[in-house]
């Protein structure tokens, strides 16, 4: 019976195209590092807690020798109390330093003035399609083309409701707001074809709001722009 319950779960998982932990850009690598790093810290804490729990359960189990014995009332242990107060603080500091640094660096509110040498792409979201406008005025719908090894600056805006720009293998989600332009960067993307989607429910045809991202060489990108 238990095996039958697992079958629909496996079928649902086979339709999942999200590959966040397979980054193909510098931006994605930094975000994946935070996920793995925080998970590793969590597993360390969990392992220590489970081992201590198992040790105490075994040490203070009921036996024929101690059955009916009332243990001494321990008022406190300053060393242990200081230890389990200081250690969580240290772990939070260790996690906070890279988290704050990477989050601040990848904030979608950066000034465009420092990125004049980057490749700029205007991203316009509307129900239910993505329009990409390049520096020479060329437009594509639901197909994004960018050069490898460069900083790509996206100018995100929406014509109607809130959307969310997301290419899982290149970078995390970024909200696309109506009447407000947000700037978001993806650095050093590797050559390949990646699935993109809207990660914010935006209407009845939200599931169809997908796009393809093609990362090509700089030479191929320049030739494509001139076509």
pLDDT value at position 37?
93
Q: How many domains does the chain have?
A: 1
Q: Is residue 78 part of a domain?
A: no
Q: What is the tens place of the pLDDT at every residue in 77-120?
A: 888 889 889 998 999 999 999 999 988 888 776 555 555 678 99
Segments forming the whole domain that contains residue 186:
113-226
pLDDT value at position 124?
95
Model pTM? 0.76
- State mean pLDDT over 183-190: 92
Give the sign of the dihedral formed by CA 181, CA 184, CA 190, CA 192: negative
Q: Is residue 187 part of a domain?
A: yes
Question: In which band, very low, low, confident or very high, does the pLDDT at 16 lie, cut at 50, 70 and 90?
Answer: low
Q: Is residue 104 part of a domain?
A: no
205 touches 137 (CB < 8 A): no
pLDDT value at position 195?
93
Q: Is residue 222 part of a domain?
A: yes
The distance from CA 107 to its chain's CA centroid, rounded to whole angstroms, is 13
**Bridge partner list, 125:** 130, 158
Q: Is residue 108 part of a domain?
A: no
pLDDT value at position 77?
83
pLDDT value at position 12?
55
pLDDT value at position 5?
58
> CA 71 → CA 11, 50, 80, 89, 144, distances in Å?
53, 23, 19, 32, 70
Q: Is residue 180 part of a domain?
A: yes
pLDDT value at position 227?
80
d(CA 84, CA 160): 51
CATH (domain of 213): 2.60.40.420
Q: What is the mean pLDDT of the chain?
A: 86
Helices (H) and strands (E) in the chain, counts: 4, 10
In the chain, alpha helices (H): 2-14, 26-59, 78-105, 218-226
Q: What is the tens place of the pLDDT at every residue in 131-167?
A: 999 998 999 999 999 999 889 999 999 998 999 999 9
pLDDT value at position 7?
61
Q: Is residue 186 part of a domain?
A: yes
């Amino acid at each position: 019976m238990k095996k039958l319950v697992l079958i629909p779960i496996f079928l649902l998982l086979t339709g999942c195209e999200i590959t966040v932990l397979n980054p193909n850009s510098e931006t994605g690598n930094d975000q994946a590092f935070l996920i793995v790093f925080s998970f590793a810290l969590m597993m360390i804490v969990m392992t220590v807690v489970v081992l201590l729990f198992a040790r105490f359960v075994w040490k203070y189990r009921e036996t024929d020798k101690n059955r009916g014995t009332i243990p001494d009332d321990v008022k406190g242990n300053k060393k242990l109390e200081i230890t389990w107060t200081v250690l969580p603080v240290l772990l939070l500091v260790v996690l906070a330093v890279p988290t704050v640094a990477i989050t601040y660096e990848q904030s979608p509110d950066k000034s465009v003035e420092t990125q004049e040498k980057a490749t700029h792409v205007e991203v316009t979201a509307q129900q239910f399609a993505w329009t990409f406008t390049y520096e020479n005025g060329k437009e594509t719908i639901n197909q994004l083309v960018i050069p490898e090894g460069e900083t790509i600056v996206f100018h995100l805006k929406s014509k109607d409701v809130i959307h969310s720009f997301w290419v899982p293998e290149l970078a995390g989600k970024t909200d696309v707001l109506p009447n407000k332009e947000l700037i978001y960067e993806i650095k050093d993307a590797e050559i390949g074809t990646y699935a993109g989607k809207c990660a914010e429910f935006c209407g009845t045809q939200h599931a169809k709001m997908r796009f393809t991202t093609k990362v090509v060489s700089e030479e191929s990108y320049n030739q494509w722009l001139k076509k």
